[in-house]
Structure 1
Amino acid sequence: MELAIKIFQFILSISILVILHELGHFLPAKWFKTKVEKFYLFFDPWFSVVKKKIGETEYGIGWLPFGGYVKIAGMVDESMDTEQLKQPAQPWEFRAKPAWQRLIIMLGGVTVNFFLAWIIYGCLSFFNGETVFDSTKVDAPMNYTHVAKAMGFQDGDKILKVDGKVQNNLDKLSLDILLSDDITVLRNGKEVTFHTNDDGKALAFKDANPKAFLTPRYPAVIDSIYNPKTAAAGLKVGDQVISANGKKIAYYDEFQEVVRNNAGKDLNVEVSRAGAVLPLVLQVSKEGTLGLASYKQLTKYAETKHFTFGQSIGRGFTRSIESLTYQVKQFKLIFNSKVQGYKKVGGPLAIIKNMPVDKAKDGSVSIDWTLFWSFTAMFSVWLAFLNLIPIPGLDGGHVLFTLYEMIVGKPVPQKVLENAQMVGVIFLLGLMLLIFGADIFKIITNKF
């Protein structure tokens, strides 16, 4: 059921983004009286799942879920249909329109994608507000794992600035550190600035969650128990673990470390309950877990900010820019020879695996619509950026050639456009196969 919900969310999100993106091309094409031959969700090589012709346009759904397209008459596109281009240009063809009209048609898709992200983020801010985990409220030193220490952190450090900027949002702090060059901390009463070591970042990307190297510390007070064996051993919600196998426990992360190091063994713990100290013996699973949690204490660091309608408009724009900025910055990790962030890059299968779901205590799974729309907004602004990259086959390639024509005063030769489009399509198809193949390889090698 969980996989089915994730697949449904992925298809729904992609369908919304593709249809609106292509509508961004379709509407200005129609406004400028340009013939649109096809409007497709997904690609349709050899056959379509559904198709119907209305007026001069064939609307349909393809079987290959890698995007979608509108086929505009008189335009060199991914269909590589050049027969029509051998004939004299007709008034209703794309190539017969003024350069400024063609530019608007080509920019329509990315414009819609950006405005869609803006609208979604604005609505989320207005209807849900924004919950921020404020690091200034953390009264204990951060928990720095071996990964964080490899980057340059030391126990007791208080983070002051990341690349010269204050970041009090715990949700963004870890990512900012991964993307940073320099960190300023308060260490032994003195301000110290150090360069974040790429070796530490590389270690972070070997973990399932690259941002888990930095967490706030809080007492080991148990607030949820999922494992019946742990409950049967006498542990109760509200107990505070004060020692484990003779080691004093001050924070929950210390307790987690002892539990992981005793996978498959019995663990002797002492808990404080109603002023009394009780000894218990807990059985740790082979995976190094006890089936309990202590995350509700994090709520004391949380603050929800609400926005008026007017404020949400500005906030929606800011969140769109922030989302895009973070994604662009991540290229420095992807192409870093030490960090090798490209190993974490995934295709459709990886996206489906990481689609957000809402898991209830009874094990049932449903759609978390807030996370779904957040993902859709993030993906929308990302698609806008990717489509603007000046590669033939993408909107950015068409924009580049059109701008050249507007600056130089004459169009790029038709043969050059055809050859460039062919190279671009081959490159993009090869890239798609590589990414999709990497997903399959990870599944086969159990590294997904």
Structure 2
Amino acid sequence: MSILIMIAQFLVGLSLLVFIHELGHFLAAKAFGIRVKKFYLFFDTFSKRLFRFNYKGTEFGIGWLPLGGYVRMAGSIATADDSDPDEDADVPPAHRYGHKPVWQRLIVMSAGIFMNLLLALLVYCGMFLYYGRNQVAVFGKNAIILPGQLGLQAGLQPGDEVTSINADSALYEDELLSTHLMHGNTVLSIVRRQGKERVHLHVAVSPKIMQLVADKGLTQFFSLKAGFQVDSFFTNVDLRRNQAFKKAHIIALNGDSVRSYNDFIIRLKENEQRQLYLTVIHDGKTSTMLAHRDKDGHIGFSLNTNLPVFKPERVSIGQSLSAGSTKVWSTIAQNSKGLSQLVSGEVKAKDGLVGPVRIATLFSGHFEAKRFWGLVALLSTALALLNVIPLAPMDGGVMAVLLYEAVTRKPVSRTFWAFFYLAGVVAIMLLSGYVLFNDIRALHQVSS
């Protein structure tokens, strides 16, 4: 059942992203008087579709192939290579895409990208307004970290105290999980106890490790010492107290991160009817195990008196707009840096390219609104950036041709467009095949 919920969330999120993107093209085309013949969510390949209806001369529908969507405009570039040159003969030239000025066509083609960025901004602003922002309350105040496997590789040690990240000690949780960690050249300022001395150090983390952190999760790098520890708990192995994990720190329950005692209690209530899989950090190692409740439904753990990890803050509309804009921009910068590292070879393609299979696994096996909308905003920004790449038939490829026309003041030939379009389609198909293979291989490695 959890797999079905995960897939359903992925399809709903994908549908929203595609619909908003194509809506941008549709609204811009209508604004310039261009006749829109089709508006489809997903592709109606081989003329097969799940649903359709006509309204004011436009066919709206849902295709059966969930790999995107499209808006078919009269006199579009795609029409120029159709086998029937008179397909749009019934449309006056003034209402055809190809007869519009270059600047109008550029706006029409970039409108989908703009709408995806606008969606991300609105979602982030709404989340900040509804949930507020969690300031990291312990930075500069003995913020003890528990390094995971990637953190140990970077040179961190259990008991290190983080004072700042990239020279910034005033951090919010959303920054900690994205801007300040998910790109290269990250520098952690730490205090390490060596005997009776406190030594101040700066740990530089390589882009390769940060890429692995982005792929495998922040807890594989480090976890802030939360407000409670495991004292002991029953496992399903022998129903005896497992002393091997005494004073381990719970960082996730059934795959959902746990950052505080209250967070842990909420997760327990959400999983009352499910088996409990606890992810803990102990001696620098991350382990996941099946926990066992006692007859009263409890598992053993003990509290400590550390400072709270996060301090919740309410934000105004103006603050949410500022924080949302910063979040969108930092996500663009993060993804752009990732693309440049792929091109330069700093990050291998098998580590940096993530396809729909692994994206789907980012959604939880049960619905959580904050997590769902956060992923929608993140993927919407990524989709906008992806469509800037100058490959036909993506928006970036069409925009590159239009910019060429604007500079040379003459349209490209039909032959050039045909080869450019074909080359783009072949490149996208090959890349999609590689990404899909890479996704399946990565999942197989995790399961084994």
TM over 0.5: yes
Q: For the Cα contact (< 8 Å) 1:126–1:308, is it kept in 2?
A: yes
- In structure 1, what residue type is equivalent to 2:248? Y
The structure-2 alpha-carbon separation of the partners of 1:312 and 1:217, relative to structure 1 and needing over 3 Å to count, comes to: closer
Question: Shift of residue 111 of structure 1?
Answer: 0.9
**In 1: Cα distance, 2:182 partner to 2:300 partner:** 27
The structure-2 alpha-carbon separation of the partners of 1:182 and 1:2, relative to structure 1 and needing over 3 Å to count, comes to: closer
The structure-2 alpha-carbon separation of the partners of 1:226 and 1:41, relative to structure 1 and needing over 3 Å to count, comes to: farther
- In structure 2, what residue type is equivalent to 1:414? R
Superposition RMSD in Å? 3.9
Q: State which structure, 1 or 2, has the greater radius of gyration over its C-alpha atoms.
A: 1
The structure-2 alpha-carbon separation of the partners of 1:68 and 1:166, relative to structure 1 and needing over 3 Å to count, comes to: same
Partner of 1:376: 376
Deviations 1:125-164 (A, max 9, x none): 1122123444417635322345324323355544445445
Partner of 1:183: 187
Secondary structure of the 1:7 match is helix
The structure-2 alpha-carbon separation of the partners of 1:134 and 1:330, relative to structure 1 and needing over 3 Å to count, comes to: farther
Partner of 2:230: 222
Corresponding position: 1:419 with 2:419: yes
**In 2: Cα distance, 1:63 partner to 1:419 partner:** 28
**In 1: Cα distance, 2:377 partner to 2:288 partner:** 37
**In 2: Cα distance, 1:123 partner to 1:117 partner:** 10
**In 1: Cα distance, 2:436 partner to 2:135 partner:** 35
The structure-2 alpha-carbon separation of the partners of 1:196 and 1:310, relative to structure 1 and needing over 3 Å to count, comes to: closer
Partner of 1:67: 68
Deviations 1:77-110 (A, max 9, x none): 3995364389999332111001111111111111
List aligned pairs for 1:241-252, cutoff 5 A: 244=243, 251-252=247-248
Q: For the Cα contact (< 8 Å) 1:151–1:198, is it kept in 2?
A: no
Corresponding position: 1:310 with 2:311: no
- In structure 1, what residue type is equivalent to 2:392? P
Partner of 1:96: 99
The percent of aligned pairs where both chains have the same amino acid is 26
Deviations 1:9-35 (A, max 9, x none): 111111111111111101121121212
**In 1: Cα distance, 2:177 partner to 2:390 partner:** 32
**In 1: Cα distance, 2:116 partner to 2:182 partner:** 27
TM-score by length of 2: 0.75
Question: Shift of residue 209 of structure 1?
Answer: 3.7
The structure-2 alpha-carbon separation of the partners of 1:161 and 1:81, relative to structure 1 and needing over 3 Å to count, comes to: farther
Structure 1, unpaired ranges of 5+: 236-243, 257-286, 358-364
Does 77-86 or 89-98 show the bigger shift? Answer: 77-86
- In structure 1, what residue type is equivalent to 2:147? Y
Q: For the Cα contact (< 8 Å) 2:136–2:173, is it kept in 1?
A: yes
Corresponding position: 1:355 with 2:363: yes
The structure-2 alpha-carbon separation of the partners of 1:218 and 1:402, relative to structure 1 and needing over 3 Å to count, comes to: closer
Structure 2, unpaired ranges of 5+: 192-196, 253-286, 292-298
The structure-2 alpha-carbon separation of the partners of 1:388 and 1:219, relative to structure 1 and needing over 3 Å to count, comes to: closer
Partner of 2:57: 56
Partner of 1:18: 18
Question: Shift of residue 349 of structure 1?
Answer: 1.9
**In 1: Cα distance, 2:75 partner to 2:130 partner:** 45
The structure-2 alpha-carbon separation of the partners of 1:295 and 1:400, relative to structure 1 and needing over 3 Å to count, comes to: farther
Partner of 1:431: 431
The structure-2 alpha-carbon separation of the partners of 1:329 and 1:211, relative to structure 1 and needing over 3 Å to count, comes to: farther
Give the number of equivalent residue pairs: 397
Secondary structure of the 2:49 match is coil
Question: Shift of residue 343 of structure 1?
Answer: 3.0
1:196 to 197, 201, 205: 205
**In 1: Cα distance, 2:316 partner to 2:175 partner:** 24
Q: For the Cα contact (< 8 Å) 1:74–1:84, is it kept in 2?
A: no
